[in-house]
Structure 1
Amino acid sequence: MKNKVVVVTGASGGVGRAVVRRLAARGATVALIARGTTGLGSAAVEAGAAGGAGLVYEADVSDYQQVREAAEQIERDVGPIDAWINVAFSSVFAPFPEITPEEFERATQVTYLGYVWGTRVALDLMRPRDRGTIVQAGSALAYRGIPLQAAYCGAKHAIKGFTESVRTELLGERSGIRITMVQLPALNTPQFSWVLSKLGRHPQPVPPIYDPEVAARALVFAAEHPERREYWVGGSTVATLLAQRIAPGLLDRYLARTGQESQQTKAQAPTGVANLWKPADEDDDYGAHGTFGHRSHAHSAQAWLSRHRRAALTLAGGAVVAVLARRRRS
């Protein structure tokens, strides 16, 4: 990533904020796209402190024209975009019948169409050069829907299908542009404090919970190694996706019993903050981390193994050889 120009949507908070810091630490020039001016400004300062450069471009990703204008300005300011990482989203925590059509439409525009517009703009700019990388921040919920998150799960499923379609088109064209997707686990981000919630209690990520830096490491690695079509991050993600393949009906019944309770704490739901229609970090900086730091994991062994498969296989092979040699000597 050194000296590369990288766009990050949703850069003002949560996973996007952690991605900005990691890219900057690796010497990238990071173009930050989001709505919240306070969060964007703080993220840009952190990028500079990390050793890179952060430039702010305020835009609503649900609006294609705003995304297009921001991208064109980025290329005028700092040169051709090398990588584009889509992270931005918004959603509603509620049973499906309690989500209004307007709320569902807005969540879909931001979370799904935001990725579509980002991908479209990135491709338009990268195609004449026949090079570039697009990374989609996904979720285990791109494969497995859960209660109370119909809008988010629907959008993540749609992003997966959309990305697969674009990938096959690029392969058919023998394009030099690569697109990959990173399926993430539950993360300790501010979303559980600022996403619109109609629940009686404070929403929470389904444990086990990981720090946003776990996601950032995976997303930046994917930008550097886009030859793999998809990355899975976290043991819980792997377990969920495998269970969905093997016994989806059993998983339906399990989530029907546990899905709602596991997504709520005992605390009262926050009031007065929701980023669906306007940025929550317009005046306040929420940063990358949420309120579950006492329960979140800073590392994932599975994610490390996924990034270092060759080294892991080499170590495993060496261990097998050593065991066999010991047996022969005995």
Structure 2
Amino acid sequence: MLNEKQSIQAICSILAKGGTQLNKPFEADCEIIEWGDKFLLFTIDGFSAEDKFRENDPFILGYNLSVAAISDVLACGGKPLYYSHSLVISKEWDEKFLNEFTKGIKHSLQKFKINFIGGDFGTAEQWSYTAVVLGETDKPLMRSGASEGDLLYLSGSIGAGNFEAMMNIYSDNKLLAPFLNTYKIKLIPRLAESAFIKKYASSCIDTSDGLCHSLIHLANCNQTGFLVENIPYHNIAQKAAKLLRKPVEMLMIAECGEYELLFTVPKKNEAEFLADTEKSFLKFYKIGVLTKDQNFLLKKEKNILDLNHFDISARDFNNVKDYINTLQNLLK
């Protein structure tokens, strides 16, 4: 059976890209098209129950799905302009659930002045959601473009997405009872950060698939390795992982990401970047560097963890807990 990347490669080998498209397959979070004196950004993203977003608060579910879709445009240094979706609701959703879900989407779009332009609707046993976002930029960021020695930065803490997954997968675990209704994760759309970093960044990707997968993808796009340390883990997610006796590194290695921006800054630009960051009142986290050798390494205190074997997908497992146990065993 083909994995996700192999399937996409097979499709792209038949449906060849052309025209004024700038990026190659896997090279950017959006499709980037030359459009007059600017660049048009196009992204389409699908979600379902397998993404492990909690469904106990429909407003937050709608909000988080829309923010997740918008994130691709931000990772390309763009401004989101138009939004469309195809919504297939579960037969279990009632009118109240649907209204709150839609209000969550509306909240994110209004907050950032993005226009909704219509979509499609259906009903099935399980819900699914597909969003289309159009944006523009005068300077597109891609996953490629970085070099050995470029420094790795993050726009925020790591683990919020995998915290959501923990609350979903282990909802019957009594140890997590204090977290289930008390802590509700709302993803943070990094519009200000995106506009700021495109002046300095040599490459960018969002952490939609978790930090580890994003690091590996970024390194592969630039034919480098990486060495990372001092990962800024989400405080509440760390506490939940500890209660479940899961290594904190699971928050960066598992695939339910937090949609932060992971980007590179050339060493020669770092002083100016940091000086302007201080003036902007934005916060970024330096976590490492791209390396010449193509090794994927995480420094933890006095130990070095080899991440080369962690590029595995939950979709390759019949049971998500088998996937979790495999990751946990690799961390031993």
Output the TM-score relative to the length of structure 2: 0.25
- Whose helix fraction is larger, Structure 1's or Structure 2's? 1
- Whose strand fraction is larger, Structure 1's or Structure 2's? 2
Output the TM-score relative to the length of structure 1: 0.25
